[in-house]
Amino acid sequence: MAVSIPADARLLALEDVATQLRVDSVRATTAAGSGHPTSCASAADLVAAIFFDVMRFDLQAPRDPACDRFVLSKGHAAPLLYAAWAAVGALDRKDLVQLRQIDSDLEGHPTPRLPFVDVATGSLGQGLGVGVGLAVGARMLGTDARVFVVLGDGEMAEGSVWEAAQMASHEKVENLVAIVDVNALGQSGPTMLGHDLKTYQRRLAAFGWRVNVIDGHDMKQVTAALRRATRGRGAPTAIVARTVKGKGLGDEVEGKEGWHGKPLPPDMAERVIASLESRLHRLPPPPIRRPRRRVGKTLLPAPQPIAGKPPTGEIATRQAYGEALVRLGESDARVRALDGDVKNSTFAEKFKERFPERFVEGWIAEQNMVSVAAGLGAQGLIPFVTSFACFLERAADQIRMAGISRANVKLCGSHAGISIGEDGPSQMALEDLSMFRAVPEAVVFYPSDGVATDAAVQLAAARKGIVYIRTTRGKTAGLYREDEVFAVGTLKTLRRSERDRLAIVAAGITLHEALAAYDEMAKQGTAVRVIDLFCVKPLDATALLEAARACDNRILTVEDHYPEGGLGDAVMEAVGTANVAVHRLAVREIPRSGPPKQLLERFGIGRGAILTKVREILGG
C-alpha cells in the first residue's frame, strides 16, 4: 500500500522525478553522442506520473500477470524509459550513460533484452496495438492489470494506430490507457495537426474512446487525468496532452525545429543539467505502487497430453490446421486464436466454435492483428494468427518487429500460391516464404497433408518465438500414418531407390504434383527421389546433401512461390556450394485466374512441367 503524503508535496515530488528524468535523458544522450533528448523531455512529466502515481508493478517479477504494463510506442524516447526504470530501482542510474553502446542492453530503441520491456518499439504506430493485446490478455487471465501506452503525435498519422483504436473500443478494453504526447514537432518539421488538440479529441472520441485533454506539463492535470483513466467505465481512455518538445532544456531548444534526434553538445548539456537541477525541490520520490499479489503461472491449468488423432485421409491442410488448433486448445489453456475475418476459409472458426472466449476477431486489419498477438504473447499466452497468406504480407513490419521482440507468435497463412485458382493473383501469396524466412530465428513449416499439419501446429506451440505455417486451399491426399514423427528441421523422403538419378524437393501442392510425376517416370523406368521439405527453415542441410550425393549430385526444386527467397533459395543456400546442381521450377511471372490444374501447368510447376524438366536434366 502506498504511503499517504500531502497532495501538494506529492505533486512537487513528482515534478522532481520528471526533472530528474530530463537530466538523465540529456546526460545519457550526450554521452552516447546520439539519441532523442527533446522527445524525452516533452513526455517526462507524463512518464513520471505514470510510474509514480498510478502504475502498479513488481520489480522482482515485472511480467507477472498481476502487474500493470507500460509500452513506449514512441520508442525513440528510450532514454526516458530507462531513466524511469532507474528511478524506481530497476536499473542503476550510473549505467544510463552506457546508452547505445554495443555491450549495453540500453539500446537506441527499447527491446525485450530488458526484463521490463515487453516488446520492441521504435517502428512507429505499433505500440497501441500491442497495448490492446496486453490489455485483452490481462482480461482473459482475469487480472485487474492496466496497460499504459505513450504515443507520439507524429505516429498518430499511422493507419495501424487507428486499427488499434477501433479494435480497443469495439472490445471495450477499459483497462487500456493511451497517452498522446502532442509536442507538435516531428522529425523533419511540424506534425500533421500541430497543437490542434480538439481534432485529436474528436477523432479519438469518434472511435469510441473516453478522451481527456490536458496540459502535459501541469502535474496536477496529469495525475488527475491518469487517475480518472484507470477507472475504466466500459471503454478505453485516451489522454491527449499538450506538450513542448525539449521542455526544460532551455530557450534554444524548447519548441524549436531542428533538434529531433540530436544530443545536446557537452558544454550545452552541462548548462542545461545545472539549470534543471537548480529547480529540484529535493523531495524523495513517492513510493511505487505494487499489485495486491503476484499470480505467477497459477491462472491457467497445466497443459495436458493432446487427445485424439490427426486426419490421415484426403483433406485440405487449411482444414487440418483448424482441427489441429482445436485439439491443441483442448490440451493447453494458453492457446488463443486470432483471425482476420476469413475464419470460415482458414478454418479458425472451428476454434471459435469450441472456445469462443479464447478467440479474438482481428477483422480486416492484419497489421493490428499481429501487434495484438505480440501483446497476448507477452502475457504468457500462445497466440495463433490466421489469414490468407497474401494478407499476412501486409503486416510485414509488424512481423519484423515481433521478430526483434522474440515474440511468441504463431502465424498460419492459408490459400498460398497459384493453386488457389480462380480468385486470381491478388489472392495468391507468392512472396510469403521469402518474408518469413528473412525473420531471424523464425521457423517455417510447409505441411503437405493432415498428419504433417497437425504436427506443425503442435511443434509451433512448443517452440518459443515466431513460427509460420503455410497451408493449401485444395484437398490433397494423405501421405503419412498418424504416428509419423516430425520435428523442427525435418524433411521426409517419400520415394527412393538405389538407382535414383535426381532428387525432387517440394512441399505442399507441388509435392503432390511431384509424386504424380514420379508415378509417370516409374512407368518409364526413370528413377528419381521425392523429398518433402516439411520444414523450410531451419533446413536439414546434412540430410539434403546426403540425398543429393545419392542422386548424382542433382536436385530439382518445385515450389508454388516466386523464385526469390522461397523453397528453392533455401535449398540452394544449403547445398549450392557443395558441388550440387540445383535446378528450379517456380512461378516466374505474374499469374492469372484459372482452374488450379491449368494454372500449375501454365506457370511451370505442375506434374507435366516436372516431367519435362526432369527429361531436360537427365537428357531424354
Peptide bond into 538 cis (omega under 30): yes
Can you give the three-state secondary structure of 306-341, one letter per residue? Answer: CCCCCCCCCEEHHHHHHHHHHHHHHHCCCEEEEECC
Name, in order, each residue with C-beta under 8 angstroms of 552's C-beta and a sequence gap of 6 or more.
Answer: 501, 502
Catalytic residue chosen out of the listed positions 15, 366, 513, 559: 366
Contact 172, 412 (CB under 8 A): no
Q: How many CB atoms lie within 10 A of CB 309?
A: 12
CA 180 – CA 241 distance, rounded (Å): 6
Ordered strands of the 359-361 beta sheet:
359-361, 335-339, 382-388, 410-414, 467-470, 443-445, 535-537
Helix 37-49, helix 7-32: angle, nearest 10? 150
Contact 519, 573 (CB under 8 A): no
Local structure of 484: helix, strand or coil: coil
CA 147 – CA 177 distance, rounded (Å): 6
For 89-125, give one letter per residue: b (16+ CB within 10 A) or e.
ebbebeebbbbbeeeebbbbbbbbebebbbbbbbbbb
Active-site residue, 252 included: no
CA 282 – CA 56 distance, rounded (Å): 24
Contact 543, 449 (CB under 8 A): no
Can you give the three-state secondary structure of 117-151, one letter per residue? Answer: CCCCCCCCCCHHHHHHHHHHHHHHHCCCCCEEEEE
Task: DSSP for 400-458, please give it.
Answer: HHHHHTT---EEEEESBSGGG-TT-GGG-BSSHHHHHHTSTT-EEE---SHHHHHHHHH
How deeply is 565 buried, as exposed, middle or buried, from its count of CB atoms within 10 A (0-12, 13-18, 19+)? middle
Q: Give the CA count within 13 Å in the CB-facing half-sphere of 426.
A: 1
Alpha helices in 142-232 (DSSP H): 159-170, 197-206, 219-229
Name, in order, each residue with C-beta under 8 angstroms of 260's C-beta and a sequence gap of 6 or more.
Answer: 36, 38, 39, 185, 186, 187, 188, 245
* Type and span of the H or E element at 369: helix 366-378
Name, in order, each residue with C-beta under 8 angstroms of 231's C-beta and a sequence gap of 6 or more.
Answer: none
Contact 341, 319 (CB under 8 A): no
Name, in order, each residue with C-beta under 8 angstroms of 407's C-beta and a sequence gap of 6 or more.
Answer: 119, 373, 374, 377, 378, 465, 466
CA 93 – CA 14 distance, rounded (Å): 18
Contact 392, 469 (CB under 8 A): no
Write out the catalytic residue numbers.
366
